[in-house]
């Protein structure tokens, strides 16, 4: 597709369950980012991928959160043993990284995660 695609668009699950969120970046974009937007708060950075490597994981809030990227394309964000405070919209972005850092980030519509 032409834009960043995220699935599912909505996810409701019980506390304690594991969830996987998927992001398909724009074709050819080597950089991929995950952010979280909790209700009434700004976007928080979670993790950044360049290719399949994650040089910056500093935003992951706990060891229950992990992410991977394969084929320099699809990325999966996994949250284990979900807690109610994990409820948020999880946004993925990608950018064309050609050696400079002045490329805009393009965002998907997000996954709205609700923990009961």
Interaction between residue 61 and other proteins (CB under 8 A)? no
Q: Does 54 bind other proteins (CB under 8 A)?
A: no
Pattern of binders to other proteins over 85-104, x per CB under 8 A?
A: ------x-x-------xx-x
Is the CB of residue 96 less than 8 Å from the CB of residue 113? no
Residues 11-30, one symbol each (x = binds other proteins by CB under 8 A, - = not), give --------------------
CA 92 – CA 7 distance, rounded (Å): 10
Give the three-state DSSP class for 31: strand
Token pair belonging to 106: 């393009």
Cβ proximity to other proteins, 46 vs 79, nearer residue: 46
Under 8 Å between Cβ of 34 and 90: yes
Say whether residue 52 binds other proteins (CB under 8 A): no
CA-to-CA distance for 116 and 105, rounded, in angstroms?
Answer: 32
Residue 19, strand partner residues: 79
Please pick, from the candidates 25, 48, 65, 67, the single residue that binds other proteins as defined by CB under 8 A: 48
Residues that bind other proteins (CB under 8 A): 4, 6, 31, 33, 35, 41-45, 48, 50, 55-56, 58-59, 91, 93, 101-102, 104-110, 112
């Amino acid at each position: 597709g032409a834009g960043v695609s995220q699935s599912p668009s909505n996810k409701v699950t019980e506390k304690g369950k594991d969830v996987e969120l998927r992001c398909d970046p724009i074709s050819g974009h080597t950089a991929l980012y995950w952010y979280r937007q909790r209700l009434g708060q700004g976007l928080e950075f979670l993790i950044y991928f360049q290719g399949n490597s994650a040089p910056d994981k500093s935003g992951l809030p706990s060891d229950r959160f992990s992410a991977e990227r394969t084929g320099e394309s699809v990325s999966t964000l996994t949250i284990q043993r979900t807690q109610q405070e994990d409820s948020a919209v999880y946004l993925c972005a990608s950018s064309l990284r050609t050696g400079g850092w002045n490329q805009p980030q393009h965002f998907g519509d997000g996954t709205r995660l609700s923990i009961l």
